[in-house]
Amino acid sequence: AGFFLVILIIWIYHKLRGVIPLGLGDAKVLALIGAFEGFKGIYYSLFLGSLFALLYFLPAVVKNKTLSFAVPFVPFLSLGAVVGLILPKFF
């Protein structure tokens, strides 16, 4: 389910903007997270990973004053998955 969710996001973004936003590594990692943690793990990883990426991305944008640089998303997805495993009672 995680793989297909990322493929859907990539397809929609590509149709809207004409650019592929994510690599398939993200989809593979989400498929792996989904295999171990289930649907909840996928959504926690996406939510928390996006939050962690935003916390990284905002200072980088202020420092570089540009939005045109790539940020690998897999480390943030992985961090979101680990936090979701460690702190499940808070979510």
> Is the per-residue pLDDT at 91 higher than 60?
no
pLDDT in the model for residue 76: 94
In DSSP notation, 34-50 reads HHHHHHHHHHHHHHHHH
Two tokens at 4? Answer: 């297909």
What's the pLDDT at 38? 87
pLDDT at 42 over 90: no
- Tell me what pLDDT residue 89 has: 64
Tell me the C-alpha distance between 78 and 69, whole Å: 21
Q: Which of 67, 41, 42 is nearest to 54 (CA)?
A: 67
| pLDDT, greater one: 75 or 8 | 75
Backbone angles phi, psi at 58, to 5 degrees: -60, -50
Whole-number Å distance between alpha carbons of 87 and 41? 12
Q: Which residue has the tokens 């420092």?
A: 63
Lowest-pLDDT range of 16-25, 33-42, 52-61: 16-25
CA distance 5 to 37: 15
3 token code pair: 């793989």
